[in-house]
Structure 1
Amino acid sequence: MTTILVTGGTGTLGRLVTERLRADGAEVRVLSRHARPYAVDLREGTGLASAVAGVDTVVHCASSPRGGDEQAARNLIAAAREAGVRHLVYISIVGVDRVPFPYYRAKLAVERLVEESGLGWTLLRTTQFHDLVLRVLQASAKLPVMLLPAGVADQPIEVAEVAERLAGLAVGAPAGRVADMGGPEVRTFPELARAFLRASDRHRRLLNVPLAGSAYRAFRAGGHLTPERAVGTVTFERFLAERFPG
């Protein structure tokens, strides 16, 4: 039986990847900072060797916008090489090579580490999950006026669809960088905000706020979008209907 290790296996994506792999009959180890028996902080690496021992494939979902992704990847790759792991699958973000946003730069650096790891590897980039867009809008809605980045659109995708794709890649052969996955629609932030307000039965004024900097300019230019790969099927409204029933 194939043994697969999922880093970040209790997170938004990793949890669904784990469920899908187990449903398909794989033996899955869940690695996170608090999930026993494989409670490992990848940035420190303590306990990582035992977690990867006997593993065929690693699906690397663990990530943090607070930093540390590059060191975590170095530790994981070193342990995977030592353990003879044959396949490393990494989830990244559309536009990491076009948008000079600090978190994107870190994800791009990890991509390069994966590509140069000497392991068999597969890399999938997707657009932002519905869940993240919802969190951003919920935070903005705490104010009487929702402040939105002027001129920026997004292409949110359903995390369950990404999990299905990632699980399929994990049980296959190393494939290098595969085709990007984008959500079904490119939507402006005012459109997304109005959909959220309707679904959550709230009323807020919207205010488009121009921002500064090269990252903002790249977001305005659509560097994080992939309209030619709009393969997702779940719209933001459908996602919201499940989150705010009735």
Structure 2
Amino acid sequence: MTTILVTGGTGTLGRLVTERLRTDGHEVRVLSRHSRTYPVDLREGTGLAEAVAGVDTIVHCATTPRGGDELAARHLVEAAGPAGVRHLVYISIVGVDQVPLGYYQSKLAVEKLIEESGLGWSVLRTTQFHDLVLQLLQGSAKLPVMLLPAGVAVQPIEVAEVAARLAELATGAPAGRVLDLGGPEVRSFPELARAYLRASGRRRTLLNVRLAGKAYRGFRAGGHLTPQRALGEVTFEQFLAGSLPARG
């Protein structure tokens, strides 16, 4: 079996990718700032040479909307080349080339950096995770009135399904930009908010708010959706049933 390094291996997605690969018998190195074995800060780049030595494949899950993804990816690529890494797998987001959001633009820049790295590579774009949508709704529900972006739909997907696809790519040959992976349904924010309120037993008034800016227009236009690739199976309601405390 191959040695696979997972960046961000203690995060929501990276942890599941790591578990899946280890279950399949692969040796997996977990790279994160808090890892006991490979404590690497990708933005600093220190310790990377030791972490990637002898690694066949890297699954790059580490990311942050606070900035620094491009620098982290550059350090990773610079270490991977001399180490003889065969395959670099990157998780991106549907719509990074359609929605002019700062975080999306950073993800797109990382895609291009990887494509031009000289390494074998695979890039998978997916829609938003159920977990992210739940966090947004929980934050909005802290107020008596839930403020929702008017005219915006999302296509949430189960993170375990994304992890399974990444593990599949990591154990295969470099495939370039693979087909996008979307959740099973395109849903409006009011629909998702009502589902959350039912599951959590809360009562809130919903208020659609029209926002300004190019990014919001991109979301309204559906640039972050891929209805033709609705291959996920777990619905938002099924996710909520397994994520929220049981109601008495």
TM range (shorter): over 0.9
Aligned AA for 2:207?
Answer: L
Aligned AA for 2:209?
Answer: V
User: Which position in structure 2 is the counterpart of 1:184?
Assistant: 184
Distance (whole Å) between structure 1 residues aligned to residue 243 and residue 98 of structure 2: 32
User: Which position in structure 2 is the counterpart of 1:140?
Assistant: 140
Deviations 1:160-216 (CA, angstroms, capped at 9, x unpaired): 000000000000000001110000000000000000000011111000000000000
Distance (whole Å) between structure 2 residues aligned to residue 48 and residue 141 of structure 1: 42
User: Which position in structure 2 is the counterpart of 1:97?
Assistant: 97
Give the 3-state SS of the residue equivalent to 2:173 in structure 1.
coil
Distance (whole Å) between structure 2 residues aligned to residue 19 and residue 43 of structure 1: 25
1:9 equivalent to 2:9? Answer: yes
Give runs of aligned pairs for residues 16-35 of structure 1, distance below 5 A.
16-35=16-35
Give runs of aligned pairs for residues 161-180 of structure 1, distance below 5 A.
161-180=161-180
Give the 3-state SS of the residue equivalent to 1:146 in structure 2.
strand
Distance (whole Å) between structure 2 residues aligned to residue 171 and residue 186 of structure 1: 30
Aligned AA for 1:6?
Answer: V
Distance (whole Å) between structure 2 residues aligned to residue 127 and residue 62 of structure 1: 17
Deviations 1:31-90 (CA, angstroms, capped at 9, x unpaired): 011011111110000111100000000000000000000000000000000111000000
Give the 3-state SS of the residue equivalent to 1:110 in structure 2.
helix
List runs of 5+ in structure 1 lacking aligned partners. none
Q: Give the C-alpha shift of residue 243 in structure 1.
A: 1.0
Distance (whole Å) between structure 2 residues aligned to residue 242 and residue 71 of structure 1: 37
Equivalences, count = 246
User: Which position in structure 2 is the counterpart of 1:110?
Assistant: 110
What is the TM-score of this pair, normalised by structure 2?
Answer: 0.98
Distance (whole Å) between structure 2 residues aligned to residue 52 and residue 201 of structure 1: 48
List runs of 5+ in structure 2 lacking aligned partners. none
Give runs of aligned pairs for residues 201-216 of structure 1, distance below 5 A.
201-216=201-216
Aligned AA for 1:166?
Answer: L
Distance (whole Å) between structure 1 residues aligned to residue 91 and residue 157 of structure 2: 14
Aligned AA for 2:57?
Answer: T
Q: Write out the 4+ residue segments of structure 1 that deviate beyond 2 Å after TM superposition.
A: none
User: Which position in structure 2 is the counterpart of 1:45?
Assistant: 45
Aligned AA for 2:235?
Answer: T
Aligned AA for 2:163?
Answer: A
User: Which position in structure 2 is the counterpart of 1:69?
Assistant: 69
Aligned AA for 2:65?
Answer: P
